[in-house]
Structure 1
Amino acid sequence: MNTIDNEIDAQEFFDTYAAAMLARDAKAIANLYAVPALIEFPGQAVAVSDSAQTEQFFESSFAQYETLTDVRASVRTIAHTSHSSWVEVIWAYDGTPAERYIYQLIQVAEGWKIAVLTPLIEEDSI
């Protein structure tokens, strides 16, 4: 994937992410994140300095997703430049919208990677 010029390319990126979630493949998910990266949880920012951090996070969180048989991302590109793209993603688990995030994707030598992840957890966010 060389560019994310529109929602179709971003959709492909997050379809890959969803497939890795369903496969419980923490390494594949970690490979979608840039190093360094920033995860902006409410009240806590997590600076990711090693892809092993991301891999370990997902390995430890798979238990909460173990009963899922379908993971889908509804993707909307908010802004795009040649080196960065901001994408809103609503994750649906087994057909039910469950999580909403803004991702900043950046262009690196290996392609597009997630550099910043911000959860949107407002009551009316989904």
Structure 2
Amino acid sequence: MLERRLPLLVAAGAIAIIANLAPGTLQLGTPSDKLNHMLAFAALVPLALFAFPRAGVAAIFLGLAFFNAGIELSQAALSLGRKPDPLDWAAGVIATIPFLAAVGLYRLYRVT
């Protein structure tokens, strides 16, 4: 069980740490903060699906949305020079939709 969830835990932990670093600490990703959020959460989708293969698409979506909100709240609480932005949350949520929709359609229409 842990071997399925470990990649998700490592990636989510790395994303949470990087998202809370002071601006300019690391030069990772793209110049666009919104695009960085989209890429990070798009990368978490397959890891979450692998970690929780029996979970529904809605449960994965909600889990990632709450994790994304937690990152924004931690930026407000930690005062490390980062500011929470609802548009960052929206970018992360929007990025998960196409991937989860594709998986949902596959699960719905697959031949068993």
Whether TM exceeds 0.5 here: the answer is: no
Q: Which has the higher strand share?
A: 1
Larger Rg: 2
Q: TM-score, normalised by structure 1?
A: 0.30
Q: Which has the higher helix share?
A: 2
Q: Which has the higher contact order (CA 8 A, sep 6+)?
A: 2
